[in-house]
Each structure stands twice: as C-alpha cells, then as structure tokens.
Amino acid sequence: MTNSSEKKKLHILFLPRWYPNRYDPMFGLFVQRHAEAVALRNQVSVVYVNEANSTQEKVFEINQTEEQGVFNTTIYYRKSVLKPVFLSKIINGYRFYKANFKGIGLIKEKSGEFQLIHVHILTRLGLIALWFKLAKSIPFIITEHWSRYLPLTNGFKGYCRKTLTKIVVKNASFVTTVTNNLAEAMKRHGLVNQAYVVLPNVVDVNLFTIQTHEVNRSIKIVHISCFEDRSKNITGLLHSFRKLSIDRHDFECVLIGEGMDFEEIRKSAIDLESAGIVRFTGLLQNKELVDELASSDFLVLFSNYESMPVVIPEAFACGLPVLATRVGGIPEIVNNGNGLLVDSKNENQLTDALITMLDSYKNYDPEKLRESVKSTNSYEAVSEFLDGLYQKSVRRSR
C-alpha cells in the first residue's frame, strides 16, 4: 500500500466507536482499514476511547502510534464501579467524553486543525461531531456499520437515543452505510438525511490473492466469524455438516476465528473434529488468515443476521465463490454469478446448497471474482470514493 499523493489535501479526524485495541486486536478492523485508505490522499488522525477495568492505575491512559500513515490516539479510561450503579454510569459517561476531547486536543497539538470529522458508529460520538459543527462550523460525515437498526436485531431503542440520533443524522453532510439494506433500515427509524450512500469495506487486494491449490485433496470449505452463535448460527452450520457427512466424504471445513461461544461450539463438534470433518484454527490474522482462506475452495456463512461481512469480498479477492444466507446486505453482493444464497435457519436448504457447491465450485471463474472486488473494495477505490465525499462536504460548509 503506497501513498498516491505526496500532498495531503485535508486533515480528517476519525472518531470510531469500534477500533482495534489491547483487549481485541480485531475489533473494528474494518474501520482501521477505512482510515488507512483515507491516508492515501489525506492526513488522518484517529481518536479512539475504550473502557479499561477498574484496576487501571491512572484514570486516563494514553497511547499514541503511527501506522500506515494514520496517527492513532487511543485513550483508556478507568471504569468506575461505585454504587449505586447510576452514579457509575454518570462517571463513566463523563470520562468517555472527557477522554475524547482530551484526545482531540492532543491531535490538534500534534497535527494542527482538522477540516472534517468522520464518525464511525453512532450515537455518542455523533454528539461530539455535532458540537464541532455548531460551534466551529466543521462538517462531519457518518459511517454506520451496526446491525441494531435491522428488524431482526431490534436493538435501536430508547426515546433519548432515538431523538439524539435523529438530530445527529440530520446534520451530517453524508451518511454512509456498508449496505443499502442498512440505510433503508435506518430510514425506517426516521433517521432522515438527503445524502445516504453505500461505502464498501476495504480489502487489501495485494494481500488477499488467488493461490494455486494442492491436487488430490479433499474439497476445503472455510468459515470465518467472531463465534457469536446468536448471529452467526455456527451450530446450525455444524448440523448441516453432520447431515452432509452421511453421504459425502470428500470435504473438510476449516472454521477460523474465536469469540464468546468458541469453546461451547467446539465441544459440540468433538465428533466432527475427531472424524476430520471440521477443523478449528482459532484466531488467525494477516498472512496466516490469507493462507487458510486462499487455499480453500469456497466460503460458507449461515448467519441469522448480518450487516455486510468483510470476509465475503475477501473471499472474492482470493477467487472463492460464497455460500451464504439472504440476510442484511449479503444479497447485494452475492448472486448466481459468484455464489449461492439460502434462507437463514433453513438447515435442509443449506445442506442441499452445500452439495450443489461441492459439485460446482470449479465452475466459478476465480479471476472474475477477484476483478469484481478490485474495482470497488481496494484501498485505492475506497480512498478515491471517500475523498470525493470529504471534498464536497468541506466545500458546502464554506
């Protein structure tokens, strides 16, 4: 990844609610990739605030790093555990906002004034951006990734939250979402803005590439997720593998990732693992992840709900077709030309589709799958797209 322009056009401040941190290096990784894409054309500073446990010595612990052209200021605030609980909530809320403004002050000292704020995930950080717009005439745009607006999750609740979110969204220069489906769900909640646009997730097409596969081996299916069974329905996926293994003995499935339900899921699949039908790798990153993905024959997801899994375009970049469920924004990018779709929770449908894919995965052209991602999801493509939104936003604010 190289910088396409020596001259930085704008200074963009990222305020993400999700971002890689010392507790979870994968948390909000897609936001970090957006920041890296922006850094190809503009100066980017990130302020990320995360709650630390109550034993942290200092009230605020500050870490500053520079990676891939992005200047990161991460602040951990000590969690209050005072009783009654409502008092702790007030203190923690105060510390959250104080930490953000402290980080913004450090950014201004280090890198100077910023011309635009890019908020990732509402609502609290949107209030900070709104303050800067009203007090300093600094525009902001929003990128929403959260599936809480979708009917199946029904997580967007509370009169105050809804009211404040409506005000924030109305005042944004642009609202970007990772899918049209998510944008429509937000609109149904009354979150009105005249400039909703879809922003693709970033895929490093120089890292995720097509690899030559070994001959005379079992067909390799891959599943990648955060192992949260309520949304990812890995249990249902394993049920289908059991059914499939009765008549088919020419495949294995590699399950990549870790999360809250990892141990329970793995225990439930002891018979499948011992039979060589499934293999658990745990968390993989960078080259290890790419090697497992690119050496597979197709990706399978059996989610109950999703927004837009970044693993799908990553699979396409490696030349793999995808078998997934008709949920969230998945039908916007998966079709008969690059994979198969099934209904969520329908294990019989999934089993039939697995049989179809086992017999037909070679019919998909890996180069065509890869090209579809390079034009929309590459660092360069996303950088150019976001730069256009930033320039329009700043011009309108003058």
Residues 112-130 pLDDT 10s: 999 999 999 999 999 999 9
Q: Which residue has the tokens 């509402």?
A: 122
Segment 94-105 mean pLDDT: 98
State the chain's mean pLDDT as an integer.
94
pLDDT score of 392 more than 50: yes
DSSP state, residue 2: -
Lowest mean pLDDT among 1-15, 68-82, 152-166, 333-347: 1-15
* Reported confidence tier of residue 9, pLDDT bands at 50, 70, 90: confident
* pLDDT (tens digit per residue) in 128-155: 999 999 999 999 999 999 888 988 778 8
> Quick one: pLDDT at residue 214?
82
> Quick one: pLDDT at residue 74?
98
Distance CA 58, CA 78 (A): 7
> Quick one: pLDDT at residue 8?
56
* Reported confidence tier of residue 205, pLDDT bands at 50, 70, 90: very high
* Reported confidence tier of residue 5, pLDDT bands at 50, 70, 90: very low
pLDDT score of 296 more than 50: yes
pLDDT score of 21 more than 70: yes
> Could you tell me how many residues make up the chain?
398
Q: What is the signed CA dihedral for 293, 69, 26, 238, rounded to 10 degrees?
A: -20
Instruction: Name the pairing type of β-strands 251-256 and 219-224.
Output: parallel
Segment 262-267 mean pLDDT: 95
Distance CA 342, CA 190 (A): 30
Segment 342-365 mean pLDDT: 97
pLDDT score of 6 more than 70: no
> Quick one: pLDDT at residue 25?
86
pLDDT score of 208 more than 80: yes
Segment 289-295 mean pLDDT: 96
pLDDT score of 234 more than 50: yes
Instruction: List strand residue ranges (DSSP E) for the chain, in order.
Output: 11-16, 43-52, 60-67, 70-78, 116-120, 140-144, 174-177, 196-198, 219-224, 251-256, 278-282, 298-300, 322-325, 339-342
Percent of the chain whose predicted confidence (pLDDT) is above 90: 87
Segment 283-292 mean pLDDT: 94
Angle separating helix axes 347-360 and 234-247, nearest 10 degrees? 60
Cα 352 to its chain centre, rounded Å, is: 29
> Quick one: pLDDT at residue 274?
86
> Quick one: pLDDT at residue 120?
98
> Quick one: pLDDT at residue 307?
85
> Quick one: pLDDT at residue 249?
92
* Reported confidence tier of residue 269, pLDDT bands at 50, 70, 90: very high
pLDDT score of 23 more than 60: yes
pLDDT score of 7 more than 50: no
Segment 249-265 mean pLDDT: 95
Segment 16-44 mean pLDDT: 95
Residue ranges of domains in the chain, CATH in brackets: 11-202+378-397 (3.40.50.2000), 219-374 (3.40.50.2000)
